[in-house]
């Protein structure tokens, strides 16, 4: 049996948790599809992400080397974000996951409805 319990940090959980959250995938897709972007452009492209959450997400992705942040010494300063080589290298894998999600979205939603209705029936018993 393959054991995923490790002393210290589990590399699989540690790496995937950093880009597999609610917002990171959307940042990846936005930067892939639009190229270099400013903060407000990323926020507009995602829509419902708060300024604080986008800041936290971008900092996390930058710290792990998925995103490059460039500051231009202008007044006011201009900051741009783009995928790094590591981020671009990850994109084909994320694209596969996104394609699978879109392909199976309806099945998943139907399954959730069935699960929710079964939970409601169990509560009534």
- Per-residue 3-state assignment (H helix, E strand, C coil) for 4-54: CCCCCCCHHHHHHHHHCCCCHHHHHHHHHHHCCEEHHHHHHHHCCCCHHHH
Render pLDDT for 104-115 as a digit per residue (tens, 0 to 9).
Answer: 999 999 998 876
CA distance 94 to 121: 37
pLDDT value at position 119? 62
* Spans of all domains in the chain: 11-124
Q: Does the pLDDT at position 7 exceed 70?
A: no
Q: What's the CATH number of domain 11-124, 1.10.10.10, 3.40.1260.10, 1.20.1250.20, 3.40.50.300?
A: 1.10.10.10
pLDDT value at position 121? 66
Render pLDDT for 8-49 as a digit per residue (tens, 0 to 9).
Answer: 677 777 788 887 888 999 999 999 999 999 999 999 999 999
Render pLDDT for 64-105 as a digit per residue (tens, 0 to 9).
Answer: 999 999 999 999 889 999 999 999 999 999 999 999 999 999
Residue 31 exposed, middle or buried by CB count within 10 Å (0-12, 13-18, 19+) = buried
Tell me the pTM: 0.79
């Amino acid at each position: 049996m393959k054991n995923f319990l490790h002393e210290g940090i589990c590399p699989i959980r540690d790496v995937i948790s950093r880009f597999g959250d609610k917002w990171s995938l959307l940042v990846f897709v936005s930067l892939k599809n639009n190229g270099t972007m400013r903060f407000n452009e990323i926020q507009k492209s995602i829509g419902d992400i708060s300024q604080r959450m986008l800041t936290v997400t971008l900092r996390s992705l930058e710290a792990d080397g998925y995103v490059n942040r460039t500051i231009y010494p202008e007044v006011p300063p201009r900051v741009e974000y783009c995928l790094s080589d590591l981020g671009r290298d990850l994109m084909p894998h994320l694209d596969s996951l996104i394609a699978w999600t879109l392909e199976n979205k309806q099945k998943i939603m139907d399954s959730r409805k069935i699960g929710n209705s079964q939970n409601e029936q169990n509560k009534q018993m």
